[in-house]
């Protein structure tokens, strides 16, 4: 690792190219999902996770881990999805908190949206990269993910005693 904290020109170009591509791709895919299926990207992420879970059901902890969302964000979003009939909360079989269950309306929504989303991903990403670049990109993503998973975060410093009045 270089002593200099700044990215050199090639590193900066690569990093910013990635950020720009990621932003554009996310916005394009999200806007199409919203326009064509009245689903936000967040709705779609929840529906995908539930549709791939056994019996379309997950505990809130598993769902938070799968999405990397904080519990508060997940809870608020599930409430909105529940009001729209896409998910329900059912008594948990194993935990203290209610499980999240994919409803028939949620299952129908993912069945309608998934093929179009896959076609958009293919057209905007897969076909643009082609098989060789796609394989390399997947390999590079796994390397970055492995490094992030292995990263040791320093422990949070323990809070000291509350300061008292000046002596």
Nearest CA to 59 out of 17, 87, 24, 84 is that of: 87
Indicate the length of the chain as a whole number.
167
Nearest CA to 118 out of 63, 48, 67, 68 is that of: 48
- The pLDDT tens digits for 40-54 are 999 999 999 999 999
List of the chain residues with pLDDT < 50: 155-167
**What pLDDT is attached to residue 76?**
97
**What pLDDT is attached to residue 94?**
83
Between the two ends of the chain, the Cα-to-Cα distance in Å is 47
**What pLDDT is attached to residue 2?**
62
- The pLDDT tens digits for 102-132 are 999 999 999 999 999 999 999 999 999 999 9
**What pLDDT is attached to residue 42?**
97
CA angle 64, 76, 101 (to 5 degrees): 60
H-run or E-run covering 12: helix 9-37
């Amino acid at each position: 690792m270089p002593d200099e904290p700044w990215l050199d020109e090639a590193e900066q170009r690569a990093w910013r190219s990635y950020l720009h591509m990621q932003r554009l791709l996310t916005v394009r895919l999200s806007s199409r999902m919203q326009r064509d299926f009245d689903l936000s990207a967040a709705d779609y992420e929840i529906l995908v996770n539930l549709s791939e879970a056994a019996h379309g059901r997950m505990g809130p902890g598993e769902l938070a881990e799968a999405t990397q969302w904080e519990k508060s964000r997940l809870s608020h979003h599930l409430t909105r999805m529940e009001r729209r009939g896409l998910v329900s909360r059912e008594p948990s079989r194993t935990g203290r908190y209610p499980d999240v269950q994919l409803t028939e309306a949620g299952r129908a929504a993912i069945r309608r949206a998934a093929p179009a989303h896959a076609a958009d991903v293919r057209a905007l990403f897969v076909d643009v990269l082609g098989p060789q670049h796609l394989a390399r990109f997947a390999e590079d993503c796994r390397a970055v993910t492995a490094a992030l998973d292995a990263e040791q975060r320093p422990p949070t410093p323990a809070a000291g005693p509350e300061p008292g009045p000046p002596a």
